Chain A
Amino acid sequence: MDERDDAAIVARCLEGDRDAYEEIVKRYQRTLFNVALRVLGNYEDAKDATQTALVKAYEHLDGFDRDQRFFNWIYRILKNECLNVLRARRPSGPVSLDLPAVGGADPVELGQRQRAVQVALQTLSLDYREVVVLRHFTDLSYDEIAATLGIPVKTVKSRLYTARQQLSHQLSVWRVAR
């Protein structure tokens, strides 16, 4: 993602070139959608959150600081939308990880393991979950994650380590099966 291109596109949008924003949408929709999907764990919710975030970003483009990365700015918008979705959800009990320990690499087993990983992600707190998601489902570096979340790099690493420890514990059955 070329940051200079982002700034140029934003400038064109602010000058009234509405169609220019479509380039931004196409550039970031995949990343934003996957982040939302892994944070929320639901396809429809991820779609709505992503769409709303992209629209709100356009409506508030004049508040974007062109000195910072566009993704950092729009990620905060998406995160707020995800929080809104999570708050709107009915409270549920802990996710059951009583999953069968099966061996082999057949599609059924793979699907089950993928669902287990997604469920394990949902058991993490949002602070830990977003660090894992940004680290493993985007190409952001620790520095970039720190900049995006507005926290020190050391905190990013600490949260990532703890999150992985929890995931490792949650997925221990599957690790053996592998």
Chain B
Amino acid sequence: MTKSTEPWRDGIPDEVTEMLRDLPEVDPPPALADNVMSTIVCRARIETMSPTLMTKGRTMAKKVLWSVAAAAAVALVVMRVFGYPPVQDGTEATIGAAQRYQAPQISSADVKLEDAQLQAFLQSDVFRQLASDKVAQEALKNNDFRRALADASVRVALSSPDVVAAIAATAATAGAPQALEANNARLDAAKVKLDAVLASSEALRVALASPLVAQAIANSALRVALVNSDAAFALSQQVAVNAVLAAATANLNATAVSSQATAGGATNAAGSAVR
């Protein structure tokens, strides 16, 4: 290396150069070289060991991973075999066939008159007519007739004017069969229907054995009530029958009251009977 001419003075050292030259060259620390080499050797050893450590670490990590996976698999199998978690009834649909709720066939005992239906019946003209018809009231006192009305097929049959006519004809000709035979074919068809209903309803058969019931069906307010399906259903319930009978009693005790007031009092009495 050769120093070129200084830019500030041609070859002649100035005072700044002289002062810089006064700064002595300092010996490096004696251990500097040894420290450098020992550091290099130490780091080289670490690098030599690191691959081994890294390999061991990776191997251990793989072992742990496989162990965890195996444990999870065993746990799943055990849970599957022993049915854990337990399945509650009706929640098995995702695994097997769903155990659905299957309700039994509805019976007459399951059909209850709701409060709203009862109130509608108590407010109806049918109710007022029944409360003022002694023949109808006597028929309603027949428990067999009430039980027969609990059968929907009976109610449907009794709502038919032809069937009612057949019942009336049968009752009227009980002592004179020839009179019935004189009726037309329409009545014959109605009688067939009636016979079918009677065959299916023991209660109706027993009820119609009473001439009073047959007469009420044929001629009283009960005939109108049976045409109304809601009223017919209400009359199958003891509570509604009791209301009718209570209203009838109230009518007898309030003879001085006008017909409208009588109906209101009957309604109140019926309400008391219900309660």
Contacts and interface: CB of A to CB of B under 8 A. Distances in A.
Interface string B1-37: 1111001100000111111111111111100110111
B219 interface: no
A54 B23 CA distance: 24
B40 interface: yes
A175 B20 CA distance: 12
B19 A18 contact: no
Given A114-B23, A161-B8, A164-B8, A51 B36 contact: yes
B192 interface: no
Interface stretch (A4-12, A81-89, A95-103, A138-146): A138-146
Contacts of A43: 26
Nearest to A32: B28
A150 to B, nearest CB: 18
Interface of A is mostly: helix
B37 to A, nearest CB: 5
A118 B15 CA distance: 15
Interface in A91-142: 110, 113-114, 117-118, 132, 136-137, 139-142
B19 A171 contact: yes
Interface string A20-57: 01100110011001100110000100010011001100
B26 A136 contact: no
Given A114-B22, A157-B7, A30 B33 contact: no
Interface of B: 1-4, 7-8, 14-29, 32-33, 35-37, 39-41, 43-44
Interface of A: 18-19, 21-22, 25-26, 29-30, 33-34, 37-38, 43, 47, 50-51, 54-55, 58-59, 110, 113-114, 117-118, 132, 136-137, 139-142, 144, 157, 160-161, 164, 167-168, 171, 174-175, 178
